[in-house]
Structure 1
Amino acid sequence: MNSGESTVTVPLDRAIEVARLLECLTRSIDRIGSREASGTADAETLDRFITEWLIGPQASRARGVLWDAISQVIGEEAIEDIAEAVPSFPDAPPEEVRRLRQEMSARQKVLGG
């Protein structure tokens, strides 16, 4: 199956739920990182955010929204195969993370950093 030609449909309320979580994570981690850089936060701050805001269960719920929609197109067995192939911490970062790191570094050099 050519996955580039398939469409996955997520109900709007569920898509908003996932988008809100991603927005929360992005903004919060950015703020925590800024505070760490200024010395007013540390790893404990990040841990507190993850624990108090129930990030694990929220991320699991968002993952379920996406996997449910994807499974309607490719089936449960394919979902399981994809999930099994996903790297996770403490494994080495996957290739897409290394590429993103290179892109960010190149962008920083262009901006004069």
Structure 2
Amino acid sequence: MSSRETRMPLSEVIAVLQDLDEFVVSLDRLGSRHAAGTADESTVGTFIADWDVARRLARARRVISVALDAQLSEEDNAEIDALCDQGRFYATDSANSASADQSSETASTSDRTDRDGDQFDPGPNPTSKIAIYSWGTRPGLSAG
């Protein structure tokens, strides 16, 4: 794979970093609350739903993927896709393999909309580095 640099618009980098910072700090605080007994199992699920974590992470992935696609060769992008396909993916049954997780993901997200009615289209391979997602802006952040 090429070792050259990839450029991204500063506004996009800042928006992604703000989201990631919010998630890391919030999840750390939730972990502390859980350890102290002041949060139960549903607290993390509530956080993920109320803060649109899945959608915001999908947007972060898209921002990075668009920059890579625009600046790297097809061969480099194919190598990145292959690396991303090797990721660990959550399953409710720990005996499930990553490939089983991928096929269940394909079936479960094919026509999903978020709570704002935005359509999520994971594309032909939802674990590939690009998923097309219509997303809204959060107060205080610009979309571009």
Where in structure 2 are the equivalents of 1:2-41 lying within 5 Å?
3=2, 5-41=3-39
Query: Are 2:77 and 1:82 aligned?
Result: no
- The CA distance in 1 between the partners of 2:72 and 2:36, in whole Å, is 46
Deviation (angstroms), 1:78: 3.8
- Structure with the bigger percentage of helix: 1
- Match among 39, 57, 60 for residue 59 of structure 1: 57
Q: RCO (CA 8 Å, sep 6+): is it higher in 1 or 2?
A: 1
Identify the residue that residue 45 of structure 1 maps to in structure 2: 43
Gaps of 5+ in 1: 93-113
- The CA distance in 2 between the partners of 1:69 and 1:49, in whole Å, is 29
Q: CA RMSD in A?
A: 1.9
Letter in 1 for 2:47: F
Q: Percent identity?
A: 33
Aligned residues: 90
- Structure with the bigger percentage of strand: 2
SS of match in other structure, 2:90? coil
Deviation (angstroms), 1:79: 4.2
Runs of 4 or more above 6 Å deviation: none
TM-score normalized by the length of structure 2? 0.56
Gaps of 5+ in 2: 96-144
TM-score normalized by the length of structure 1? 0.70
CA offsets per residue over residues 80-107 of structure 1, 9 Å max, x none?
Answer: 3333222211368xxxxxxxxxxxxxxx
Identify the residue that residue 73 of structure 1 maps to in structure 2: 72
